[in-house]
Amino acid sequence: MAKEIKKPSIIQGLLVFFFISIIFYFLLRSIFVFSAQYGRLEKILATLVLMAEIFIMFQAFGYFITIFRMNKKKLTEPNISILKNFPSVAILIPARHEPKDMLENTIISVCNLDYSNKTVYILDDSSEEKYKKEADELAKQYGVKCYKRNSRHGAKAGIVNDCVKGLADKYVAIFDVDQCPISGFLLSVIPIIEADLKLAFVQTPQFYSNMDSSKVSFASNMQQAVFYEYICEGKSTNDAMTSCGTNVVFRREALLDVGGLDESTVTEDFATSLRLHAKGWKSLYYNHVSTFGMGPENLGSYFKQQNRWAMGNVGVFRKVLLRLLKSPFSLRPIQWFEYMITGSYYFIGWAYIFLMLCPVMYLFFNIPSFFMNPVMYILAFMPYLILSVAIFQVSMIGRHYNIRQMLKGQLLSFITLPVYMRAALFGAIGIKGTFQITGSGGSRTIPYINLWPQLAFWGINLSAITWGLNRFLYEPTAAMAMNMTWAAYHFILLSSIFYFNEENQLEYGCKKLQRRVKFEYERIAGLDNIEKLGQQTWNICFNVILPEQFNKGVILMCKITERNKEIIIFDGTVLGFSKLIFGGKFRTTIGVVTIPEKNKERLKEVMR
């Protein structure tokens, strides 16, 4: 018997009021925009603002209608029967220039899957001999097969397709090299896909096991939670769940039916899902975390990930529109709606940035764009704003997430808007651009010169607030106050760029020294093999502000003097650093390498 998951009902009432507030707000906005007596420039600007608002609320509507649908009816889990026969499964691990230890961890995980009829393949697409040799060694060590190809095409999708063509297995499971499934993964998923001959694939969620290693990994995991909770469940109920490219089991017959994974885009999973649904295949999302992966740990890797996803999705969105024009009946209306929502999402960068600049234009140039009486604006907009925030938070609290966690995910999304703008533009016009910004030395921070778009918007809003305060002294109007409030709100959100960038690898999990102690140091030597040392080597670590830069691996003789003149001496190694934007100093993470046993507890006592 299918198990029913009960949903909270308080959200349904809030959602009804939310949809009413959207209708009410846009009726008033439209009336004011098209009846206002302003010049052509202001009218054009106001129309563009209205279009940006419509797009944002279209995305919000898609999310909240999913929540409404998921709370209106009880969600039933698929029956998982005990397998009598074990159909063959090929487990593919695409890899290209991956760290050996990471690849090895994934191989160990898939080899330990509790499933008898499986064959593991390393799809090695490396061009450097070092990585080719490591893949061969791991394949021999663990008794798995290493697949290589002569000509490289289509990146990950290409090597998967080349391999799948030569397989005879009924199912194909794909895991990225940083994903480690638990032992019962296949025993849970295979019975589901076996029960429905038209089911092309079963997608499962992922969880970042390194979410506590940095502020970025924590916040990005919160973003994943929003996607893998309500959004994926809603898509699955509409038979519009798209593959995420990893932690997924495909029916090999279905893949071959659509010519394999789409090799024309970097988001081959999304594009292939469209092909499968258009040919009548079904998909399903099984919301049980059975795989643990590694999320981006700094802004450089996070922005690169988001740029790839955004550029690929927008590129596929063009295919969605083209297919809609050519074959409007190839998908059901609700499926078209889901693909439109997903494919167009990353235009959110352009919409939000445009809305962010509206208060700036008013404060600097007195150019209006809303044409609404401030009192009417508050009465119309505030219900929508309050209800949307309340529904989002209540829905995620129902999934055991708190407000602070969700806020960090939203802040990270906001400072990524310039990345979305660039990626959406390139994806829309078909440019295959690259994106790479990294720190140097032992630093995991991005040089602020490379974050100039975020800092430019940050500075523009700060200047607008300053100028607005000056104007408010002479023009104390409600409109002036309202626009300054929005500029201040955007300024605060953009200020989180410093929160996410001013850290190094272990800083997030390390403590600080108390202010009452004095810290002194002297350089001893460098540690060349720091990467090979285990975490137990520095089971005590702390952050301290130093006037000079030390690269990762430098050994320092450290001296801490307590208020009572007691002294703690130990050797520490620099684990990383980040340069403070003001003052020219360096926040440095130091791991304790050698310390007398009697001093360990005393050192912990002077940390906070």
pLDDT category, 458, cuts 50, 70, 90? very high
Residue where one domain finishes, among candidates 447, 474, 503: 503
Q: Are 496 and 514 within one domain?
A: no
Residues 6+ apart with CB under 8 A from 169: 87, 88, 89, 90, 119, 252
79-96 mean pLDDT? 88
Which of the given ranges, 379-393, 481-495, 536-550, has the highest pLDDT on average?
481-495
Q: What's the distance, Cα to Cα, between the start and end of the chain in Å?
A: 52
CB contact at 8 A, 234 and 69: yes
Q: Calculate the alpha carbon distances from 234 to 213, 221, 341, 388 in Å.
A: 31, 20, 12, 18
418-424 mean pLDDT? 95
Q: Are 324 and 367 within one domain?
A: yes
CB contact at 8 A, 288 and 202: no
Tokens representing 501?
């960038």
Mean pLDDT score of the chain: 86
The answer to whether residue 74 scores a pLDDT higher than 80 is no
Query: How far is Cα 421 from Cα 410, in angstroms, rounded to an integer?
Result: 17
Q: Does 133 reside within a domain?
A: no
541-546 vs 511-512, strand pairing mode: parallel
The answer to whether residue 404 scores a pLDDT higher than 70 is yes
**What's residue 535's pLDDT?**
41
Q: Are 348 and 213 within one domain?
A: yes
Of the two residues 539 and 199, the one the predictor is more confident about is: 199
CB contact at 8 A, 586 and 545: yes
Residue where one domain finishes, among candidates 503, 528, 543: 503
Query: How far is Cα 165 from Cα 6, in angstroms, rounded to an integer?
Result: 43
pLDDT category, 438, cuts 50, 70, 90? very low
Residue where one domain finishes, among candidates 447, 470, 503: 503
Q: Are 467 and 534 within one domain?
A: no
CB contact at 8 A, 192 and 78: yes
pLDDT category, 504, cuts 50, 70, 90? very low
**What's residue 487's pLDDT?**
95
Q: Are 294 and 434 within one domain?
A: yes
Q: Does 429 reside within a domain?
A: yes
The answer to whether residue 603 scores a pLDDT higher than 90 is no
Q: Does 410 reside within a domain?
A: yes
Q: Does 10 reside within a domain?
A: yes
**What's residue 279's pLDDT?**
95
Q: Are 482 and 542 within one domain?
A: no
- Full residue range of the structural domain in which residue 376 is found: 1-79+195-503
Torsion of CA 311, 220, 587, 455, to 10 degrees: 40
Q: Are 534 and 421 within one domain?
A: no
Tokens representing 223?
């973003």
Q: Are 514 and 422 within one domain?
A: no
**What's residue 606's pLDDT?**
84
Radius of gyration of the chain (CA): 27
The total of structural domains in the chain comes to: 2
The answer to which of 177-181, 211-215, 369-373 has the lowest mean pLDDT is 369-373
Q: Output phi, psi for 473, to 5 deg.
A: -60, -30
Of the two residues 334 and 80, the one the predictor is more confident about is: 334
pLDDT category, 526, cuts 50, 70, 90? low
Question: Which residue pairs from 343-346 have beta carbons closer than 8 angstroms and sit at least 24 positions apart in sequence?
Answer: 343/270, 343/313, 343/314, 343/316, 343/317, 344/55, 344/59, 344/314, 344/317, 345/59, 345/313, 346/309, 346/310, 346/313, 346/314, 346/420, 346/423, 346/424, 346/427
The answer to whether residue 3 scores a pLDDT higher than 80 is no
Tokens representing 236?
């699955």
Q: Are 494 and 531 within one domain?
A: no
Q: Are 462 and 595 within one domain?
A: no
Q: Calculate the alpha carbon distances from 303 to 28, 178, 386 in Å.
A: 38, 18, 30
Q: Does 107 reside within a domain?
A: no
Query: How far is Cα 408 from Cα 512, in angstroms, rounded to an integer?
Result: 22
Q: Are 405 and 536 within one domain?
A: no
Tokens representing 180?
């480690």
pLDDT category, 584, cuts 50, 70, 90? confident
Q: Does 90 reside within a domain?
A: no
pLDDT category, 469, cuts 50, 70, 90? very high
Q: Are 363 and 460 within one domain?
A: yes
> Of 290, 194, 282, which Cα lies nearest the Cα of 248?
290
Q: In what order do the strands lie in the sheet with 207-208?
A: 179-181, 291-293, 207-208
Query: How far is Cα 27 from Cα 384, in angstroms, rounded to an integer?
Result: 13
> Of 253, 483, 475, which Cα lies nearest the Cα of 370?
483
**What's residue 2's pLDDT?**
42
